[in-house]
Structure 1
Amino acid sequence: MINLPMSAPTFIKSAEIYRSLRKKGITIRKTIDCLIAVLCLEHEVRLFRNDHDFLFIAEHFPLRIV
């Protein structure tokens, strides 16, 4: 497990991802997934996923998933 630092801008970016996808008709079921995605984007970390929400995020943002 990796401990990645978070700040206020991290939470703002998370909300922006959620709103951006929602405007495109995509609903992320768990908002924590947006926060996890932002942390991976900020720290250039690949995400080992077991959740379809990350596929939706990766289609619209440069999230690297495995």
Structure 2
Amino acid sequence: MTSSQVFLSIALPFAIIPLVLFTSSKKIMGEFKIKTWVKWLAWIATVILVALNIYLILQTVGILK
């Protein structure tokens, strides 16, 4: 695996978590706020992606095989 892929795995949570937070905020988005069921799906997808990225990073470092 190249170092750019590892960096993207580390950087992805820093982009996706604020994205879900901001789009689900009535204060920030107003009437364009995402619906509750979309927010739940977004958080589920975020948790899965972050967990898979942590697994990938641990594999790359050699902690997991």
TM over 0.5: no
Q: TM-score, normalised on structure 1?
A: 0.31
More relative contact order in 1 or in 2 (CA 8 Å, sep 6+)? 2
Larger relative helix fraction: 2
Considering only CA atoms, is the larger Rg found in Structure 1 or Structure 2? 2
